[in-house]
Amino acid sequence: MIMKICIVGANGRMGQAIIQIAQMQNIIIHSAVIRENTQYHGVALTQNNTKISNHIEKGADVILDFSNHQSTLNNIKSAVQYNIPILIGTTGSHTASDYKAYQNIIPILWAPNTSISWSIIQSSIEKINKIRNLAVSIGEVHHKNKADNPSGTTKQLHDKIQADQIWSLRAGDNMSMHQFLGLNNQEMIRFEHQVFNRKIYANDALKVCEWLVNQNPGLFTMQAFINNLSEITSLN
Ligand SMILES: NC(=O)C1=CN([C@@H]2O[C@H](COP(=O)(O)OP(=O)(O)OC[C@H]3O[C@@H](n4cnc5c(N)ncnc54)[C@H](OP(=O)(O)O)[C@@H]3O)[C@@H](O)[C@H]2O)C=CC1
Ligand SMILES: O=C(O)C1=N[C@H](C(=O)O)C[C@H](O)C1
């Protein structure tokens, strides 16, 4: 099946990365949703039927929300209205539990970090942290335009492992890095994930959507996706 996607936040950095990747792949951009009272000002939309809209419309197979955490609840309500699975990529003051009321209606993926590599790292961190008594630091470095601090990835990991220290730095235009440091008398464990290009988040988000569209209703994290990785042959 050729996947039809709706991208919310189409004018943004992530929205643009997703549009570029989708247009290079066998993916139909059903609609590009931008904020009210704005114009689309991104890369050329090369497919004839892509709708540019101020709201989610029916007809897509999956919605990717990379707009703003304040609009995510409305986006989920629209997803429910049209019975469309939704990937929540926004980060900020919301948490997955805010959306529990909708988990029995549609598949919802809570994904503050869509990188599959990071998701595997996070799974390892959680396992190690369970079996070792570690002093833990989580650090993150992001571009200067990032609205939230700490990052959504950091918040999600901290919820799981309760870090002793969290630090954040903001600089540059494209930077994205997460670091875990765990320490005891015998070991120092360090994981670091640097992303050179938003296309990795975009590409992996689209891969995960191929999985999401085949799920029953539920509130999932990237963990559920990587638990199924053995059935997937190539992720390039
Ligand atoms: N899950 C992941 O792996 C990743 C998540 N993110 C997160 O994704 C979100 C977007 O990041 P980024 O692209 O860098 O941010 P940008 O600010 O570049 O893009 C956000 C876009 O959303 C638009 N927007 C805001 N409100 C609405 C609305 N109600 N309806 C439609 N569009 C809206 C903005 O419009 P306007 O241009 O008019 O202001 C903007 O174009 C952030 O929360 C970020 O933290 C980012 C990277 C990876
Ligand atoms: O805003 C970003 O750029 C990113 N946001 C996500 C987060 O807050 O964790 C994921 C990644 O770090 C890039």
Mean pLDDT for the chain overall: 96
Tokens for 233, please give them: 């042959």
pLDDT band (50, 70, 90) for residue 236: low
Cβ–ligand 2 contact at 91 (below 6 Å):
yes
CA of 198 to the centre of ligand 2 (A): 9
Cβ–ligand 2 contact at 176 (below 6 Å):
yes
Looking at the structure, tell me whether residues 13 and 109 fall in a common domain: yes
Please give the angle made by the CA atoms of 156, 159 and 164, to the nearest 5 degrees. 110
In a domain, 236, yes or no: no
Task: Please tell me the distance from the alpha carbon of residue 19 to that of residue 7, in angstroms, as a whole number.
Answer: 8
In a domain, 56, yes or no: yes
CA of 37 to the centre of ligand 1 (A): 16
CA of 137 to the centre of ligand 2 (A): 18
Looking at the structure, tell me whether residues 27 and 86 fall in a common domain: yes
Please give all residues whose beta carbon lies within 6 A of any atom in ligand 1, as ranges.
Answer: 8-9, 11-15, 33-35, 38, 66-69, 71, 89-92, 111-114, 148, 152, 201
- Whole-model pTM over 0.90: yes
In a domain, 90, yes or no: yes
CA of 159 to the centre of ligand 1 (A): 23
In a domain, 15, yes or no: yes
In a domain, 159, yes or no: yes
Looking at the structure, tell me whether residues 23 and 65 fall in a common domain: yes
CA of 113 to the centre of ligand 2 (A): 6
For the chain, the DSSP string reads: ---EEEEESTTSHHHHHHHHHHHHTT-EEEEEE--TT----SS---STTPEEESS--TT-SEEEE-S-GGGHHHHHHHHHHHT--EEE---SS--GGGGGGGTTTSEEEE-S---HHHHHHHHHHHHHHHHS--EEEEEEEE-TT--SSS-HHHHHHHHHH--SEEEEEE-SSS-EEEEEEEE-SS-EEEEEEE-S-THHHHHHHHHHHHHHTTSPSEEEEHHHHHTTGGG-----
Q: Measuring from atom 10 of ligand 2, which residue has the nearest CA?
A: 113
- Alpha carbon 234 to its chain centroid, in Å, reads 20
Per-residue pLDDT reduced to its tens digit, 40-94:
999 999 999 999 999 999 999 999 999 999 999 999 999 999 999 999 999 999 9
Per-residue pLDDT reduced to its tens digit, 97-156:
999 999 999 999 999 999 999 999 999 999 999 999 999 999 999 999 999 999 999 999
What is the bridge-based pairing of β-strands 107-110 and 86-88? parallel
- Interface TM-score (ipTM) > 0.95: yes
In a domain, 77, yes or no: yes
Looking at the structure, tell me whether residues 60 and 136 fall in a common domain: no
CATH number of the domain encompassing residue 137:
3.30.360.10
- Whether 235 shows a pLDDT value over 80: the answer reads no
Looking at the structure, tell me whether residues 10 and 107 fall in a common domain: yes
Looking at the structure, tell me whether residues 53 and 131 fall in a common domain: no
User: 137, 166 in Cβ contact below 8 A?
Assistant: yes
In a domain, 178, yes or no: yes
CA of 154 to the centre of ligand 1 (A): 18
In a domain, 33, yes or no: yes
Amino acid (1-letter code) at residue 28 = I
In terms of Cα–Cα distance, which of 90, 112, 95, 26 is closest to 61?
A: 26
Looking at the structure, tell me whether residues 54 and 154 fall in a common domain: no
Per-residue pLDDT reduced to its tens digit, 105-122:
999 999 999 999 999 999
Domain with 162, as residue range(s), is 116-194
Looking at the structure, tell me whether residues 53 and 132 fall in a common domain: no
Looking at the structure, tell me whether residues 83 and 131 fall in a common domain: no
Looking at the structure, tell me whether residues 27 and 67 fall in a common domain: yes
- Counting ligands in written order, the one closest to the CA of 140 is 2
Cβ–ligand 2 contact at 90 (below 6 Å):
no
Looking at the structure, tell me whether residues 99 and 203 fall in a common domain: yes
- Counting ligands in written order, the one closest to the CA of 12 is 1
Per the structure, how many domains does the chain have?
2
Looking at the structure, tell me whether residues 93 and 142 fall in a common domain: no
